[in-house]
């Protein structure tokens, strides 16, 4: 016997209305999803700063450190061609809860492997391990998060999703901020504690599996009335693979294009921030009289990890405030266009400022502003845009776009480094000027997505 939905909001639901419009019966599942994405992002940000520290001591002959970092992103895009193809096949065969369970367990097993081969632990510094870890973290970070949001977009209809996704997304920014804070605290702890961060990250991932299965079983109103989708696809959707589903749909293709531009713009900035940081650390080591090769490597690794721990902390604190108090209100009063266009507009202004004043302090502040907007307002927009899409396209399209096209943008950023550093010898300001031009293209693409979204939402409503 199926329980009936409540008609009056609970005390919890009235409290959640501080953030968005939560109605009777919606509170429990929304809060479970909030906790779920909190744990996923917490795990990711326990791992992410270690990636930066590890890649900073992964030297490759004849390449600068920032080039190693940039070129590694190209490898991610190649690997993802195979990953998304395999995931698309699984998504058509497994119920969504089982699909998410097995992919998360696979990621947890990888954490154990990287824990065992991290530098100065069981092995001194296994050649290529830092690059392998960088590749894996990039895939893990976008893929696990993307499949969570595909699940949420499948669980909710468009009306309910418009109201509840901004509140659930607060859990993502809060988890990222908490994970960054934990990393910042633990990186100053005993060496054995620092070496255990990868194992610590497994705990929130394990709990997230159980929360996903609960939400899948209970549904949006928490009353055991939701099938474990996705629903039956159309014959065309069933035949298409993941990449074909994206390329064959004008809406998804345009979303893929602006996702690629977002990644290209953001990664250009990340690479330049990393480059300036490494130059500063080299100067600091020289001023401190550190000359031994091993001592310089340790100083660089710890300095890079500590910098990014603090950087990610402030990014996520700002993102949390924007997500909690701005995103849902901007969506409610400004509509989808307001939240989708906010990010490229801020990127345009930020990179213009960096173009004119390309110093570390300015780049850091502007990157905090850009990334905080990305992780909050733009994060909400990227999930809301999937609500009018069919379930089959959600599970094939969202992980593909949020992983493959994100990493293709990273690859183009790496190509930017190759051309700029190896052939043109461009100054830092030239990279920022080029990125401003990319931001203009991004704005044009976002305007088209808004128009197509309106058409798709209208067609869905008519149906």
Give tens-digit pLDDT for 315-370: 878 888 888 888 888 988 888 999 999 999 999 999 998 888 877 778 888 899 99
Q: How confident is the model at residue 402 (pLDDT cuts 50, 70, 90)?
A: confident
Q: Look over the chain and give the mean of its residue pLDDT values, rounded to a whole number.
A: 80
C-alpha 356: how far from chain center: 29
Residue 155, pLDDT > 80, answer yes
Read off the pLDDT of each residue in 52-74 and give the average, rounded to a whole number.
63
Residue 190, pLDDT > 80, answer no
Q: How far apart are CA 458 and CA 463, in angstroms?
A: 9
Which domains does the chain carry?
Answer: 23-462 (1.20.1250.20)
CA distances from 239 to 249, 392, 405 (A): 14, 11, 21
Encode pLDDT of 229-271 as tens digits. 444 444 434 445 667 778 888 999 999 999 999 999 998 888 8
Q: How confident is the model at residue 459 (pLDDT cuts 50, 70, 90)?
A: low
Q: How far apart are CA 172 and CA 156, in angstroms?
A: 18
Would you state the pLDDT for residue 159?
80
Would you state the pLDDT for residue 352?
92
Query: How many C-beta atoms lie closer than 10 Å to residue 23's C-beta?
Result: 18
Of 64, 76, 431, nearest to 265 (Cα)?
431
Element (H, E) at 423: none
Q: How far apart are CA 370 and CA 348, in angstroms?
A: 9
Q: How far apart are CA 174 and CA 318, in angstroms?
A: 10
Tokens of 9: 């909001």
Would you state the pLDDT for residue 227?
47
Would you state the pLDDT for residue 457?
80
Q: How confident is the model at residue 404 (pLDDT cuts 50, 70, 90)?
A: confident
Would you state the pLDDT for residue 438?
96
119-123, 217-221, 241-245: segment of lowest average pLDDT: 119-123
What sign does the CA torsion over 442, 444, 450, 456 have? negative
Residue 54, pLDDT > 90, answer no
Residue 99, pLDDT > 80, answer yes
Q: How far apart are CA 46 and CA 186, in angstroms?
A: 10
Would you state the pLDDT for residue 232?
42
SS3 assignment, position 123: strand
Q: How confident is the model at residue 214 (pLDDT cuts 50, 70, 90)?
A: very high
C-alpha 391: how far from chain center: 21
Encode pLDDT of 262-302 as tens digits. 999 998 888 888 877 877 788 888 887 777 777 777 777 77
Residue 228, pLDDT > 70, answer no
Q: How confident is the model at residue 193 (pLDDT cuts 50, 70, 90)?
A: low
Would you state the pLDDT for residue 171?
86
**Percent of the chain residues past pLDDT 70, beyond the cut:** 82
Residue 304, pLDDT > 60, answer yes
Greater pLDDT, 183 or 57:
183
Would you state the pLDDT for residue 207?
95
Encode pLDDT of 411-433 as tens digits. 788 788 878 877 777 887 888 89
Q: How far apart are CA 52 and CA 196, in angstroms?
A: 16
Residue 221, pLDDT > 70, answer yes
Encode pLDDT of 77-88 as tens digits. 677 777 777 777
Q: How far apart are CA 341 and CA 379, in angstroms?
A: 12
Tokens of 115: 């824990």
Read off the pLDDT of each residue in 392-409 and give the average, rounded to a whole number.
80
């Amino acid at each position: 016997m199926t329980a009936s939905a409540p008609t009056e909001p609970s005390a919890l639901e009235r409290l959640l209305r501080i953030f968005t419009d939560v109605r009777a019966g919606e509170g429990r599942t929304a809060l479970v999803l909030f906790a779920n994405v909190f744990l996923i992002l917490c795990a990711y940000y326990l791992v992410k700063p270690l990636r930066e520290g590890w890649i900073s001591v992964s030297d490759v002959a004849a390449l600068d450190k920032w080039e190693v970092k940039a070129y590694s992103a190209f490898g991610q895009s190649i690997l993802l061609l195979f990953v998304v193809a395999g995931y698309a096949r699984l998504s058509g065969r497994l119920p969504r809860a089982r699909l998410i369970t097995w992919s998360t367990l696979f990621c947890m097993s990888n954490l154990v492997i990287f824990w065992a081969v991290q530098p100065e632990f069981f092995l001194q510094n296994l050649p290529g391990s830092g690059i392998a870890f960088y590749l894996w973290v990039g895939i893990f970070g976008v893929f696990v998060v993307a499949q969570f949001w595909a699940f949420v977009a499948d669980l909710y209809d468009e009306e309910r999703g418009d109201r509840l996704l901004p509140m659930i997304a607060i859990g993502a920014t809060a988890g990222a901020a908490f994970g960054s804070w934990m990393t910042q605290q633990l990186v100053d702890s005993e060496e054995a504690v620092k070496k255990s961060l990868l194992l610590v990250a497994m705990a929130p991932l394990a709990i997230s599996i159980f929360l996903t299965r609960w939400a899948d079983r209970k549904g949006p109103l928490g009353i055991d009335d939701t099938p474990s989708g996705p629903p039956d696809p159309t014959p065309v959707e069933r035949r298409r693979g993941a990449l074909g589903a994206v390329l064959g749909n004008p809406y998804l293709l345009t979303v893929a294009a602006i996702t690629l531009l977002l990644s290209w713009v953001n990664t250009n900035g990340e690479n330049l921030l990393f480059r300036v940081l490494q130059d500063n650390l080299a100067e600091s080591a020289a001023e401190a009289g550190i000359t031994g090769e091993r001592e310089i490597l340790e100083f660089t690794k710890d300095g890079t990890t500590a910098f990014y721990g603090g950087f990610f902390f402030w990014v996520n604190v700002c993102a949390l405030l924007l997500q909690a108090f701005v995103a849902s209100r901007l969506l409610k009063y400004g509509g989808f266009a307001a939240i989708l266009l906010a990010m490229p507009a801020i990127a345009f202004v930020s990179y213009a400022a960096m173009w004119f004043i390309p110093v570390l302090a300015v780049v850091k502040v502007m990157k905090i502003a850009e990334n905080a907007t990305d992780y909050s307002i733009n994060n909400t927009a990227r999930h809301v845009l999937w609500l009018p899409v069919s379930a089959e396209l959600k599970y094939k399209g969202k992980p593909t776009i949020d992983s493959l096209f994100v990493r293709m943008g990273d690859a183009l950023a790496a190509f930017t480094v190759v051309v700029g550093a190896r052939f043109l010898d461009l100054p830092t300001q030239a990279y920022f000027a080029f990125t401003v031009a990319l931001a203009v293209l991004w704005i044009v693409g976002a305007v088209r997505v808004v128009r197509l979204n309106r058409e798709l939402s209208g067609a869905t409503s008519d149906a």
